[in-house]
Structure 1
Amino acid sequence: MHTGHQLSCAMWAMAALSLVLVALRLYTRIRIVNFVGAEDYMYAGTGVFLLLFAVFIQVSVHYGLGQNFWKLSIDDSSDAIFWTYVANSFAITGNAMAKLSMGLFLLRVVQVRWHKIALWVAVIITTATSIALTIMLWNQTTPIKASWDPLRTPGTWNIRIQPMSVGLGVWSSICDFFFAIFPWLFIRTLPMSRREKFMLAGGMSLGVIAGACGITRTVVLSRLDVFNYTLNFVPYFAWAGAEIAVAMICLGIPTLRPLYLKTRGFASAYSNHGQSSHANEIPRFVMYERKASNPAPSAHDSGISYARTDNNIKTPPPTHQTQTSNDSVEDIISGYQDQHVGVIWVKNEVRIQEDVAEWPLRG
């Protein structure tokens, strides 16, 4: 098995893993969180682009990618280079889309003005440089065909694409590290427990691995000999695909927390709240004890005692049920109210308050 076949196998494995994460994320957002944002569509698009990258790498391997350029026929060498151009277009765009997905995700969470400005600057520069590099990739020579069919099509080279690709690789790695470190700037302000904050920020910080892949890809690209393109560029395409796949893993894992909670039996609030008016917010529940000002003798000793309710003590509005021993607190109160119409005796009132908080994982 030559290096081309090894490359195609690795790309198919990465694409399969990424598509599984796409499916899990969309299921989580649609069925559990009941909210799908632009970053989710961007994430799904990244998975599709990585799949197309694997498809066209496979086509290029069929024509000779991974073999010595000078041992291939002219037709095969030309076709192999052409299909790597197609694959590389999806790699460049997919890498940018992964960063856009992360940027849009963070823009939904941050509140400080300079945080938003920094994110928008990163998103705009990434988009602009990726579009520019893709255009330059297909316009290196005059005529265009001379860049992938140099042995039969004489032409003039207008652009040195390799230095441009190295520059974009440097910027891409900077963005990966920026998006990995950035969540630690605002994570402390989110309405979550300390453990959840560290889990969320830690998951996003896995982006440093994608940054490391980007650095490796850039170093490999800067040292490649273009005169044996079909053989020497295999490591570059391997690291390009790895950078996108790792970025998708880092983006996908933090957003799957609601799915994890549902499998553990803790996510009933997600599905219930999805039918309320706040379709893109997740509730959190706070239980507290409130003592009556004039307690009366207990009515019975069943584990819950009752005192007369004054006018200033109101029955809490209906909300999501929280299980006590067998019945919810609200069911016990309402059942007792049926037996004593107009009078409720309460000694210790336990209220369930729905405090709607912005859930940072909703994207």
Structure 2
Amino acid sequence: MFTGFYARDAPPSGILDAATIAAQGLPTDSLTPQLTISAGILSAVATLIVLFRLYGRAVILRVVGWDDYCVIIAAVLALGLTGTMFASAHYGLGQHAWMVGYANIEMILKYGYPLHILYILSLGFSRSSLLLQLIRLAPTPRLRKAFWFLFGFSTCFTLAAFLSHALICKTKPYLFWESKDPTADVRTGRCISYGTLQLVMGVINIFTDFVVWLSPLQIIYSVRLPRSQKVGLFIVFAFGGLVWISAIVRLYYARVAAKMISENITVDPTYRALPIALWSNIETHIAIICCSIPTLRPFLRRLLPASIIPTSSSRSRSRYRANDQSYPYELEGVEQFKKLKPDNTAGTSRERVVDV
């Protein structure tokens, strides 16, 4: 999509020698380390957290749910996304175009095609994982129905975004990276406008992330918990706000890139396109981390002393024994959501322990 000259007197290869770069006063700095370092660190952290989650649930609790399967798929797709970014960095993403050349620019765009698809799918499965957790924990049927609606909406949106990007040039995806005139391709109907697609999907994505990642706060507010635990849970799930903040920043840079394409501005595309990949990486991995942190309690309970990660309170156990109720098993482990339910027969209140 990016062709043409981006520096004065550029040779056919598009790569300028050091003397020409110095004579024209062109910059030679690189943003590539920002991408590779952040992608490597976030990928490692997200993978470890998912492994800790699976150890706690599959090995310790011996309970694995659909939310765990979703986060596994999201993590695998995120690893693919990270690999794609490293491959793009190898060809010069983050460097100035006059140091990269036309052939490498085409390779970067070629990797940009699966990068968009992996980003969409990984984010979609992360949202599904969180929503499936919320459906299980919803204290009322009304909330459960609301979360099922959000799950259906998120699934439909993910599918629509996937198909829109996969078929951006219909049955000729190679036009995404080989097109000589993207504007003409859009005008003749050969491709969908990249800018319009990014704007529409980006706005819906931000709205969906905003609703989904703030939904747990409703459950935390409606259940009975010690104040310290409730504040901690508020902080953990509010941290998910970084997901939609990252989506906003990514949309801004995607719009900048779309403007460059629509106006055939080909000045330094490899340098200017890096923020899109950077923020896509941040958003994807933060989503995986945030939907997994609340499920780490079984692992942390095994790893750390009981004084640091307390188990179920003796008060709750004695309350159940007093009412001749068997103490509810810890279903899935992280934070115990304790909701008071009226006991019409005993005239007292009893606690129900539901784990994430």
Name the TM-score, length of structure 2 as normaliser.
Answer: 0.71
Matched AA of 1:141: C
What is the Cα-based RMSD across aligned positions, in Å? Answer: 3.4
Q: Cα gap change, 1:164/1:116 in structure 2, threshold over 3 Å: closer, same or farther?
A: farther
SS state at 2:178 partner: coil
Letter in 1 for 2:206: S
CA distance in structure 2 between the aligned counterparts of 1:60 and 1:253, rounded to whole angstroms = 30
What's the offset of the Cα at 1:358? 4.2
Q: 1:17 matched to which residue of 2? A: 45
**Structure 1 contact 74–151 (Cα < 8 Å) conserved:** no
Do the aligned partners of 2:209 and 2:243 also contact (CA within 8 Å) in 1?
Answer: yes
Quote how far apart the aligned CAs of 1:220 are: 1.9
Residues 154-193 of structure 1: matches in 2 within 5 Å?
A: 156=188, 157-190=190-223, 192-193=225-226
How far has the Cα of 1:268 moved from its partner? 9.8
User: Partners of 2:131 and 2:310 in 1: how far apart?
Assistant: 29
Task: Tell me what 1:359 maps to.
Answer: 354
Does 1:285 find its partner at 2:317? yes
After superposition, give the CA deviation of every residue in 1:203-241 in whole Å (9 maximum; x if it has no partner).
222111222111111122222223444332210111111
Deviation at 1:318, TM superposition (A): 12
State the aligned residue count.
291
Q: Confirm whether residue 81 of structure 1 aligns to residue 103 of structure 2.
A: no
**Superposed counterparts of 1:205-220, under 5 Å:** 205-220=238-253
Assess, with a 3 A threshold, how the Cα gap between structure 1 residues 86 and 319 changes in structure 2: closer, same or farther.
closer
Counterparts of residues 185-204 of structure 1 (less than 5 Å): 185-190=218-223, 192-204=225-237
Q: Which of 54, 62, 71 matches 1:34? A: 62
| Counterpart-to-counterpart distance in 1, 2:230 and 2:43 | 30
- Which deviates more, 73-82 or 147-156? 147-156
Counterpart of 1:359 in 2: which secondary structure? strand
Give 1:261's aligned amino acid. R
CA contact (8 A) 1:98 1:247 kept: yes
2:146 is aligned with 1:121: no
- Deviation digits for residues 56-82 of structure 1, max 9, x if unmatched? 111122223223456644432222111
Q: TM-score, normalised by structure 1?
A: 0.70
Cα gap change, 1:317 to 1:218, in 2 (>3 Å): closer
Q: Distance in 1 between matches of 2:131 and 2:253?
A: 27
Taking a change above 3 Å as real, the CA distance of residues 319 and 27 of structure 1, as seen in their structure-2 partners, is closer
Structure 2: unaligned runs, 5 residues or longer: 1-28, 330-349
For residue 25 of structure 1, report the CA deviation from its aligned partner.
Answer: 0.7
Distance 2:195 2:226 in 1: 47
User: Residue deviations 1:163-221, cap 9 Å, x none?
Assistant: 22222222222233323432232324446444333333332221112221111111222
CA distance in 2, matches of 1:360, 1:285: 15
SS of 2:318's partner is strand
Rounded Cα–Cα distance in structure 2 between residues aligned with 1:289 and 1:237: 55
**Cα pair distance change 1:30/1:356, threshold 3 Å:** farther
The answer to whether 1:248 aligns with 2:288 is: yes
Q: Could you tell me how far apart the structure 2 residues matched to 1:175 and 1:141 are?
A: 26
Contact 1:133 1:165 in 2 (8 A): no
- 2:126 corresponds to 1:108: no
Matched, 1:264 2:305: yes
Q: 1:31 to 1:132 in 2, by over 3 A?
A: same
Runs of 4+ residues deviating >6 angstroms:
266-270, 287-290, 316-320
Q: Deviations over 1:228-264 (max 9, x none)?
A: 4433221011111111222222222221123333322
Change (3 A) 1:242 1:268: closer
* From 277, 280, 283, the counterpart of 1:237: 277
Larger Rg: 1
1:221 corresponds in structure 2 to 254
- Structure 2 Cα separation of the partners of residues 357 and 318 of structure 1: 9
Q: Which residue of 2 aligns with 1:7?
A: 35
